[in-house]
Chains A and B, each alone.
Chain A
Amino acid sequence: MRVLCKRTGGVAGLRVPAEVDSEQLTAAQARELKKLVEEANLFDQPAKPRSKAMPDQFQYEITVEDEGKTHSFMTNDAAASDELLGLVDWVIAATRKQKQGKG
């Protein structure tokens, strides 16, 4: 399973790309990722957000790939569920950890 997530906007306007691949995670992390993806209903998200972003909120472009299926969508802080925002935080943190490990 792969999850790609790009966070943009926020008051700082930074672009934060993040990506995790189950095959490069520990078994425990991969299980956690799978659980988070399920809880966030990632494959059932509408292509575009149902709510407008409020000023300085984050915007997200997310792609999930699993067992030959791919789904891409855009969302924001106003539209996303707590579960989805939790997954995004997790993917960003895991990506940063990987980078630091390599660096």
Chain B
Amino acid sequence: MNKHCHHSTDFPICCIIPPIILRNLAEKGNDRQRELAFDGLEVSAGMRGKRSVMGSIAFAAALPAGTKRRTVYSADNRRVLPGRLVRTEGGPRSADVSVNEAYDGAGKTYDFFMKIYGRNSIDDRGMRLNSTVHYGRRFQNAFWDGQQMVYGDGDGEIFERFTKCLDIIGHELTHGVTQYEADLVYEDMPGALNEHFSDVFGVLVVQRSRKQKADKADWLIGKGLFSEGINGVALRSMKAPGTAFDDPLIGKDDQPAHMKDFVKTREDNGGVHINSGIPNKAFYELAIRLGGFAWERAGRIWYVTLRDRLRPNSVFQDCADATFDVARELYGANSVEQRAVREAWGVVGIKTGQTAAKKSKAGGGK
């Protein structure tokens, strides 16, 4: 049966295959088989049930922009990926809260990128959003493995389940977006930028879901993720880096908010979750200066910068210069937005607008 699907054409012939076999393919097949199986499962889930068979085939073969395709698996507390298929697009809600949170959070994040920036999923080509919950035993983490989102249950002593926070889901999914765009190396300053963009769009997904203006938002990452008894409000604060937690069991939040406090370390891939505090603070400063909904102007400048301007080895200065240029292109030279970008980076000790000037003087610029 695997063979049959593997050799099939680009059309989802699998929609005539019994769901149990599709399910097996979705869990154990190669990438191509899995895609075909999903299309089949979703058709049989009834989402496209009213269409004729021909209609289903045509529909699934050419996915229009804005078509969400989510899949949630359970690792059943083992370290396996993707695990057992538990929910597909359009399928019924699960009795398992983690499954629904992963599904709904991926949906809200997809909608955010689609409706605000016109981005069609992680790869901007409608990529399926795969999530695995219940990864490992009492696993105290969530991560992006290069292809999918992975969530642990937490240990109940320090961490609650990692699907609990929408901004964490947005954070993980944004790692995927970054991989398909700037592809920032996950180490040292480029790694801290990679983390920074995940924090930015993670909080913006939350702010948009609450229709919250910049000055009303808490700018916290992972609020509610710490278990009761831990002295901390969240994992990080973009508004006041270094103040999110201070607890004998887990230590103190050591994020800097200024370049003079930049941390050189080989831990944490060169401090990627530490030094991200610096650009995080800059983004917060910009959003506050502009006011209103942060995803509209501040977020757009950041999104275009991530998509079009940064390279795998970009550092903070490159990011500052790129956001300054993008602000000019989007809103005009010396516009309120462009001046606010310069001021915001200035707050964290990064001068911008200068390297670009130097470059053109040297004749190397465009």
Contact = CB atoms under 8 A, between A and B. Distances in A.
Whether A associates with B in a native complex is yes
Interface string B188-222: 00000011001000000000000000000000001
A85 B78 CA distance: 12
Question: Looking at chain B's contact residues, is the secondary structure mostly helix, strand, loop, or mixed?
Answer: mixed
A54 to B, nearest CB: 5
Contact of A10 (B140, B144, B274): B140
A15 B235 contact: no
Contacts of B198: 55
Given A52-B186, A54-B186, A56-B144, A13 B171 contact: no
Nearest to A56: B143
A78 B186 CA distance: 13
Contacts of B142: 11, 56
Interface residues of B, number: 34
Interface stretch (A21-29, A30-38, A39-47, A57-65): A57-65
Nearest to A82: B79
B222 A12 contact: yes
Q: On chain A, which size bracket covers the interface? A: 20 to 34
B87 to A, nearest CB: 23
Contacts of A53: 186, 269
Contacts of A74: 266
Interface of A: 6, 8-16, 52-59, 61, 74, 77-78, 82, 85, 89
Interface string B159-197: 100100000100110010011000000100000001100
A77 B139 CA distance: 12
A64 B168 CA distance: 34
Contact of A12 (B145, B178, B235): B235
Contact of A13 (B175, B186, B268): B268
Contact of B172 (A52, A56, A78): A56
